[in-house]
Structure 1
Amino acid sequence: MKILVLEDDKTTGPYIAEGLREEGHSVDLFANGADGLVQAMVGSYDVLVVDRMMPGLDGISLVKTLRGAKNRTPVLFLTAMGGVDDRIEGLNAGGDDYLIKPFAFGELSARINALGRRPQMAEEPTILRARDLELNLLTRKVTRAGKSIDLLPREFALLEVLLRRKGRVQTRTMLLESVWDIHFDPQTNVVETHVSRLRAKVDKPFDVDLIETLRGSGYRIDAA
């Protein structure tokens, strides 16, 4: 497995890395949380071993940032903070396991191997596309043909639903539930109004219309 160890203790970090390498794993070791976050984001790791107290960025903030970016790599917290509330905080932050220092290397290795055997969830895309239209879920930016498009929050949410379900017809009822969390028909034209506004920004300035109306059915963005 490819493992990232984030541990600032000058003895513990190299000890863990050496032991895991002896077991045949590929290991990267970082002592700074900010540097470790960058590495975790760009590297393709099977398991992360994360100390809670590190310079640059603490382990809890690091894992929360990863989970917010849809990074699902299993995380084992390895820390001296062993109180019940500490463990709860770590797991609620997105940790998959929690091991308290001092620890036995054999147990650490077994826990890492167990996390590595878990089936990985497919990572959700961070950019949704249809032809030359792009919606970035992380930066909340929308562009078409390289030109920035400013959308209001509901317009953004509406476009996100249409792109996530690209090629599939979305009825008025489905859009009311997904975008407005309305589970009944309020007898308003809120969907039609927002689709019209979205078209004015996403389609009208360009040569090809992406948002289709299927009379009597609903709306869709063609998957082609």
Structure 2
Amino acid sequence: MRILVVENDIYLSKVLSQILKKNSYTVTCVNNGDDGIDFALTGIYDIILLDVVLPKTDGMTVLQRLRKIRITTPVILLSARSEISAKVAGLDSGADDYLVKPFSLDELLARVRALGRRKGELFSNNILVYGDIELNTASLKLSTEQSEVALTCRECELLEFLIRRKGIISPKERIIEKLWGFDSSAGANHVEVYISFLRKKLEYIGSNVVITTHRGAGYEINTTCKDIQANTLLKSTV
């Protein structure tokens, strides 16, 4: 899971980064509201930890702008204000949770885990379902009712990313940022190779799920209509 920390306090930002990374999260830290907006707009983050008091653009304004342009990434607001009115204002502005400073790091981790579970509403026992496939992110198995195939960790991450963005075209640059990170030397050819691997494995298990290439734009996951056509043909012969 990838987390964006937008925190004005440099020391706290470093502490949060260390704790989150120790718990196997991938973390990016920025220290002002303008950078927070720019990084959030990439859409590669699963959760945003957002300080209310920020230079350039304050946290509440950052949150409101993100929600206005339909960035739905879960947000935990971090604030020293403990009064009910401040919490209500934050939640009404689109925050998913509100944590009062100083807070327990154990409590923060628990809330991150809770939001992660909420974001994974398509999951049941680590299984993500789309079309006629089931993706088991724990065992790295991809299956239909008829067949099953093993995936590599990278293939699993890419397929999960595409499924979660169903209906949205994902540019190669976005995929690289999500799977390899901003500082990676991975290029477009890496994405093309893994897309090819996934297509072959989807075909191998006889799935009706396809990964469509939008030339110059990116990739999108879809289901074909062959099963609908088969049902129609069956009905016509009855």
TM bracket, shorter-chain basis: 0.5 to 0.7
Amino acid at match of 1:62: V
Alignment partner of 1:118: what SS?
helix
State the identity %. 37
Match of 1:52 in 2: 52
Q: Determine if contact 1:71/1:123 at 8 Å carries over to the other structure.
A: no
Match of 2:75 in 1: 75
Q: Given the alignment of the two structures, is residue 30 of structure 1 paired with residue 30 of structure 2, yes or no?
A: yes
Q: Given the alignment of the two structures, is residue 102 of structure 1 paired with residue 102 of structure 2, yes or no?
A: yes
- 1:24–1:126 Cα change, 3 Å: closer
Q: TM-score, normalised by structure 1?
A: 0.53
- 1:55–1:46 Cα change, 3 Å: same
Q: Determine if contact 1:72/1:123 at 8 Å carries over to the other structure.
A: no
Q: Which runs of 5+ in 1 are unaligned?
A: 128-224
Q: Given the alignment of the two structures, is residue 4 of structure 1 paired with residue 4 of structure 2, yes or no?
A: yes
Find the aligned partners of 1:68 and 1:126 in 2 and give their Cα distance.
Answer: 18
CA-based RMSD of the aligned residues comes to: 2.1
Alignment partner of 1:38: what SS?
helix
Q: Determine if contact 2:6/2:30 at 8 Å carries over to the other structure.
A: yes
Measured after TM superposition, the shift of residue 90 of structure 1 is: 0.3
Match of 1:112 in 2: 112
Find the aligned partners of 2:16 and 2:95 in 1 and give their Cα distance.
Answer: 19
Measured after TM superposition, the shift of residue 81 of structure 1 is: 1.4
Measured after TM superposition, the shift of residue 43 of structure 1 is: 3.9
Find the aligned partners of 1:35 and 1:7 in 2 and give their Cα distance.
Answer: 11
Amino acid at match of 1:56: K
Find the aligned partners of 2:19 and 2:168 in 1 and give their Cα distance.
Answer: 35
Measured after TM superposition, the shift of residue 119 of structure 1 is: 3.5
Alignment partner of 2:106: what SS?
helix
Match of 1:93 in 2: 93
Find the aligned partners of 1:8 and 1:46 in 2 and give their Cα distance.
Answer: 20
Q: Counterparts in 2 of 1:1-224, with a 5 A limit?
A: 1-119=1-119
Amino acid at match of 1:4: L
Find the aligned partners of 2:62 and 2:120 in 1 and give their Cα distance.
Answer: 20
- 1:23–1:81 Cα change, 3 Å: same
Measured after TM superposition, the shift of residue 48 of structure 1 is: 0.4
Measured after TM superposition, the shift of residue 79 of structure 1 is: 1.1
Q: Select the structure of larger CA radius of gyration.
A: 1
Q: TM-score, normalised by structure 2?
A: 0.50
- 1:167-210, CA deviations, whole angstroms, 9 ceiling, x for partnerless residues? xxxxxxxxxxxxxxxxxxxxxxxxxxxxxxxxxxxxxxxxxxxx
Q: Which runs of 4+ in 1 moved over 3 A?
A: 119-127
Find the aligned partners of 1:10 and 1:43 in 2 and give their Cα distance.
Answer: 24
- 1:14–1:69 Cα change, 3 Å: same
- 1:36–1:106 Cα change, 3 Å: same
Find the aligned partners of 1:71 and 1:120 in 2 and give their Cα distance.
Answer: 16
Alignment partner of 2:77: what SS?
strand
Measured after TM superposition, the shift of residue 10 of structure 1 is: 1.7
Greater share of helix:
2
Alignment partner of 1:5: what SS?
strand
Measured after TM superposition, the shift of residue 63 of structure 1 is: 0.7
